[in-house]
Structure 1
Amino acid sequence: MDTEKGLPALPKSLKAFLIATGILLVALVLINQPLKTGSAHQGIVSFQLAGSAEQALAILQSWGSEGLQWARLSLWVDFLFIPIYCLALVRLTRHCTLDRPGVRERTTARWIRALFLVAGLADVTENVLLLNNLEAPTDAFSLAAAISALVKFTALTVGIAGLVIIRAARRHPLVPG
């Protein structure tokens, strides 16, 4: 047991999920590099947040056919990344609440896990919309993908902030180790 923090060491399965998440995140960042253009300063993220067909088309044109292949690869790798990061964050939430038996902490942890699952579902929805938007962008798909991306980013941000709050709420466990 880590007596300083009150938590036991990370289980091997959680470590594996966190490492896999890190590896896939690095892969996505590397895949995103050729997608950074004048019209897409953030690469695939710019395409995710393009709220209109006009913006999406400008990004696609700046990428060209080679960039389109990188974009497809990014979206397909992201389909693998989604369940890995969702499981890692849900398991991390469970681990962070092992020494938090209070009702408020347990309720907060349930909300945090729900936020991570919402982020994953929004990410899947976003990827499906973006794959459909790669050929002939439409305003409906562009706007829906942008909304899905915002839901994903918001759920992840609030969920991670919730984890920090749970860990900071009580510096010492109720039952000393």
Structure 2
Amino acid sequence: MDTEKGLRALPKRLKACLIATVILLAALVMINQALKTGAAHQGIVSYQLAGNAEQALAIVQSWGEEGLQWAKLSLWVDFLFIPIYCLTLILLTRHCTLDRPGIRERTAARWIRTLFISAGLADVTENVLLLNNLDAPTDAISLVAAISALAKFTALTLGIAGLVIIRAARRHPLAPG
């Protein structure tokens, strides 16, 4: 199956969500370019993973006033991105398990959807904490934000790995709907 045929076979809602996810992800990546500094080599991701007030403050100070505006924009755009990527991943999970009627596959799909929803909730928590930590970073908020970011990344990684495993389990392509 070539890529063009594969994209045509996707349900319209999934296609629309995939397009919206890619557009918002591209916007976040572009915004992040303005946030890369010596103290924040990975831009906003460095700030997400700053586990203490000292690190967070060094990153915020390295951004300056203009960078701070970019950071706020990044976090607010991420609030829009979260439900879109969660819905996309849930729809993708549904699509990838259409021809997987077994109990194990259905149970795995429920766990995968739960991981994606958990990632979204952790992402919302992280963003709220990071926005509140921009003015005067604290150790507590920095640590909880970093833990939330790690929980998000872990849940997304495990969920995507689960999708790959479900698709590879029977070793045949998804039957066209």
What is the TM-score when the length of structure 1 is the normalising length? 0.93
- Tell me the alpha carbon deviations over residues 123-146 of structure 1, each in whole angstroms, 9 at most, x when there is no partner: 000000000000100000000000
Partner of 2:104: 104
SS in 1 for 2:136: coil
Which amino acid counterpart does residue 57 of structure 2 have in structure 1? L
1:33-83 deviations in Å (ceiling 9; x for gaps): 010000000000000000000000000110000000000000000000000
Q: Which residue is equivalent to 1:5? A: none
User: 1:84: which partner in 2?
Assistant: 84
SS in 1 for 2:156: helix
Per the TM alignment, residue 17 of structure 1 is displaced from its structure 2 partner at its CA by 0.2
Alignment-derived partner of residue 48 in structure 2 = 48
Shift of 1:176: 10
CA distance in 2, matches of 1:29, 1:123: 16
- How far did residue 172 of structure 1 move? 3.0
Structure 1 residues 117-176: Cα deviation after superposition (integer angstroms, max 9, x where no partner): 000000000000000000100000000000000000000000000000000000237x99
**Which residue number corresponds to residue 157 of structure 2?**
157
Distance 2:156 2:63 in 1: 28
Q: Measure the CA separation in 1 of the matches of 2:141 and 2:152.
A: 16
Question: Which ranges of structure 1 fall in alignment gaps of 5 or more residues?
Answer: 3-7
Q: Hey, what's the Cα distance between the residues in 2 that align with 1:122 and 1:89?
A: 15
The amino acid that maps onto 2:115 is: L
SS at match of 1:13: helix
How much is the aligned-residue C-alpha RMSD, in angstroms?
A: 2.0
| Deviant stretches of 4+, over 2 Å | none
What percentage of residue pairs aligned between the two structures are identical? 84
Q: Distance in 2 between matches of 1:15 and 1:130?
A: 31
Tell me, yes or no, if the aligned pair for 2:53 and 2:139 is still in contact at 8 Å: yes
CA distance in 1 between counterparts of 2:172 and 2:120 reads 32
The equivalent residue for 2:143 is: 143
The residue identity in structure 2 corresponding to 1:125 is T
Distance 2:12 2:109 in 1: 21
**Corresponding pairs, count:** 172
Indicate if the aligned counterparts of 2:9 and 2:176 stay in contact, CA closer than 8 A: no
TM-score by length of 2: 0.93
The one-letter code matched in structure 2 to 1:25 is L
- Write the distance in 2 (CA, Å) between the matches of 1:176 and 1:129: 43
